[in-house]
Amino acid sequence: MATTTPHAAAAHAKHETGPGRLVLNWLVLCGLTFATFGFSKLHISPGMHLAAALTISTVKVALVVLIFMHLWHGEGINRIVFVTSFVFLLLLMFFVMADVTTRFSLSNSRIPPMPQVDQRMIPSGMPPGMSNTPQGHSGGGAGPSSGEAGKQ
């Protein structure tokens, strides 16, 4: 079959993403980059910032995958592979975050308060952010820190 088909026709039939479309895709991607930057300057809540950034990034990734990486015109099996890897990424992210964000302190039972940390036990070279001071973790109920238990 390949003996009679000219190479160019064979290539065109296989995938149709020409240079024009690639350049257009690049322009859209650059535009979306500036859009991400613009959104970060808006006065909205941190959660909204995160949601906007992730949404725009997902659109950009979809454009790169579908146009630059030819998944739009490519074989279906490759689509399954890539989508599956993303589904597993989301599963990992979902279950880890579901755990991390719903942890709570057990110290409202009759467990005696944790003893105060002896400051001399902390290595002298410890930077301020790492020391076990009773500031507590700002995320709330983050693991077995001495913050909450020490206050009781």
Partner 1 sequence: MQSSAARKMTAEGWLEPPPLPHHYDTIENHQSALRFGMWLFLGTEVLLFAGIFVGYFTFRHYFPEAFEQSARHLSVPLGTANTLLLLTSSLTVALAHYNAEHGRNRNAFWLLMASVVMGAGFLGIKAVEYTEKFHEGALPGRFFSFAEITAPGGPVFYVVYFFSTGLHALHVVVGMSLLIWVALRCWRKEFSPTYYAPVENSGLYWHLVDLVWIFLYPLLYLV
* Site residues, partner 1 (CB under 8 A): 2, 7-8, 10-11, 17-19, 22-23, 25-26, 29-30, 33, 36-37, 39-40, 46, 49-50, 53-54, 56-57, 60-61, 64-65, 67-69, 74-75, 77-78, 81-82, 84-86, 88-89, 92-93, 96-97, 100-101, 125-130, 133, 135, 137-139, 142-143
Vertex 45: Cα angle to 44 and 46 (nearest 5):
120
Closer residue to partner 1 in complex, CB, 57/152: 57
In whole angstroms, how far apart are CA 134 and each of 22, 110, 117, 122, 150? 55, 21, 9, 13, 7
Task: Please say which residue, 37 or 152, places its beta carbon nearer to partner 1.
Answer: 37
For residues 36 and 59, the answer to whether their CB atoms sit within 8 Å is no
